[in-house]
A and B are shown apart, each in its own frame.
Chain A
Amino acid sequence: MAGASSSADVEAKAAVFVEVEKLELYTERYDRAYRDSWWRRGPSPWRGNWGPRAEVNLINARRRDQHESGEGPSALVRHLEEQKLRDGFLVDIDRPGPLPNVTEGIHRFIPLPRFHRFLRGRSGSMLTLPLRVRAKGHSASWEEARDQALDHFAATRPGLPSPRFRGPRHRRAGRRGAR
């Protein structure tokens, strides 16, 4: 059939969807959505799911992992740590463009951006990289700094101090070394 494509053809093609919107319109929609729904119950981009109960589960799983052998407890610890790591949420400043006057006014009295930065550091889901300078000779040094920051993050996961937080490959290598 003319125009028909095989499954191999379909797999080879990539689909890219691009939505273009004026910055002012997007920020207005973002602010409106935040104002209208941050307090609502149910699934929300403005709220995380990691709570005290999950933290207790993680602590218990780490304890079990220390005392029991086998991949089961370790896999559970890795799963929970990853869940905690990715449980970031969005707030009113997580959008491009200047903030509305009301939000700016509130932030003058309550330092919410600093508070959110603190929380993001605690959950380990954030790292800060240097700004990229567009000048000759700076590109390589920026890439080096970027790689260093990512390597450090991968090795330590700030906010997740457990030395057991490693990918499966690292963990297996560590065990072999210990034996």
Chain B
Amino acid sequence: MRGKDLDNLAHLLLPPIEEKLCVQRGTVLGYRVYSAVGGPPGIQLRIIDSTRLRELEIALMDADLNPSRLARLER
């Protein structure tokens, strides 16, 4: 499963998640959808705070802007 299938999957999951688990529609602030290694086979759906996604963005940017010595050596 990749590309458009993953995007379609997210769109098939978001409305029922918001309908069944959220206070109202439109309250999911963000999502990550990807095909990853590991098991068991299936769709692992996780509900986490939106701050984690923001913190991930910050960590990615920070690693780009302030690489560690090891990262600088790798480059």
A90 lies within 8 A of chain B by Cβ? yes
Per-residue CB contact flags for chain B residues 39-73 toward chain A (1 = under 8 Å, else 0) read 11111111111011101101110111001101100
**Total residues of chain A contacting the partner, CB 8 A:** 45
Pairwise interchain contact A113-B38, C-beta atoms closer than 8 A: yes
Pairwise interchain contact B71-A125, C-beta atoms closer than 8 A: no
**Total residues of chain B contacting the partner, CB 8 A:** 43
Distance from B4 Cβ to chain A, minimum over Cβ atoms (Å): 11
A46 vs B63: C-alpha distance when bound (angstroms): 14
B1-16 residues with Cβ-Cβ distance < 8 A to A are 1, 5, 9, 12-13, 16
A167 vs B20: C-alpha distance when bound (angstroms): 10
Which residues of B pack against A, CB within 8 Å?
1, 5, 9, 12-13, 16-17, 20-21, 23, 32, 34-49, 51-53, 55-56, 58-60, 62-64, 67-68, 70-71, 74
Residue pairs across A and B with Cβ atoms less than 8 A apart, 21 shown, are: A29-B60, A29-B63, A30-B60, A34-B59, A35-B71, A37-B59, A37-B62, A45-B59, A85-B47, A88-B46, A88-B48, A88-B49, A90-B52, A90-B56, A94-B36, A98-B37, A117-B38, A125-B48, A126-B45, A146-B12, A150-B17
